[in-house]
């Protein structure tokens, strides 16, 4: 990567520990501090206490190389997912006026089921990214473990029970769902 001046700078930052220590520390500190400020968990007007707690959590986080590796992997994949979401929205907005994307279905916007489907797909992708980033003792990711388990024991009672429970949940949800006025 050092073929360019900026490539050399990034290489220098890597050797300096910016990517392995400083950026995970800042990310963890910012998120924890924002959550503590928003929830007021430690009390009203306790910015100093929130900052010290967030700093302690961030230092503990960067002290574990496994946690830092997971943060780096997850954050890089979430950026790709975010870009895919933006590209998807750009494609959809090429067929709809921007105002129509924000409007409700009754006002000429996208149907609610498409918005909900997109949100669920993003949630599933985020969960898959996290499952891929967490490794077992053997080095296999949780996602790989789950998929290999499903492939190996697809006809087992455990998998059949999970499928049955999910099916029953949606069946009961369908039966107990209240009908909206105006629909038959």
Name the residue with higher pLDDT: 155 or 183. 155
List helix spans (H) across the chain: 5-16, 23-39, 47-63, 65-93, 98-102, 112-133, 142-152, 157-176
Residue pointed to by tokens 């895919």: 84
pLDDT value of residue 179:
67
pLDDT (tens digit per residue) in 24-34: 999 999 999 99
Is the pLDDT higher at 59 or at 149?
A: 59
Q: Round the average pLDDT of the chain to a whole number and report it.
A: 82
| % of residues, the chain, pLDDT over 90 | 18
Determine the Cα–Cα distance for residues 2 and 13; give it in Å rounded to an integer.
12
Q: How many CB atoms lie within 10 A of CB 118?
A: 15
Choice between 56 and 107, residue whose per-residue pLDDT is larger: 56
In three-state secondary structure terms, 141 is: strand
Phi, psi values for residue 49, rounded to 5°: -65, -40
111-170 per-position pLDDT tens digit: 767 777 877 787 788 788 878 877 888 888 888 988 888 788 777 787 788 888 999 998
Confirm if 60 and 52 have CB atoms less than 8 A apart.
Answer: no
Query: Taking residues 10-27, what's their average pLDDT?
Result: 88
| Residue 96, H or E segment | none
CA atoms lying within 13 Å on the CB side of residue 44 = 0
């Amino acid at each position: 990567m050092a073929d360019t001046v900026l490539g050399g700078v990034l290489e220098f930052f890597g050797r300096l520990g910016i990517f392995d220590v400083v950026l995970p520390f800042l990310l963890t500190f910012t998120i924890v501090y924002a959550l503590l400020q928003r929830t007021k968990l430690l009390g009203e007007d306790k910015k100093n206490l929130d900052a010290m707690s967030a700093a302690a959590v961030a230092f503990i986080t960067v002290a574990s190389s496994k946690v830092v590796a997971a943060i780096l992997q997850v954050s890089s994949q979430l950026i790709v997912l975010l870009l895919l979401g933006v590209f998807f929205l750009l494609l959809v907005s090429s067929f709809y006026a921007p105002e129509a994307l924000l409007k409700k279905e009754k006002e000429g916007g996208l149907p609610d089921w498409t918005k909900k489907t997109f949100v669920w797909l993003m949630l599933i992708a985020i969960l898959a990214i996290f499952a891929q980033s967490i490794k077992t003792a053997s080095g296999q990711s949780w996602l790989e473990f789950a998929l290999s388990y499903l492939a190996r024991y697809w006809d087992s009672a455990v998998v059949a029970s999970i499928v049955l429970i999910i099916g029953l949940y949606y069946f009961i949800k369908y039966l107990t769902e209240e009908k909206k006025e105006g629909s038959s």
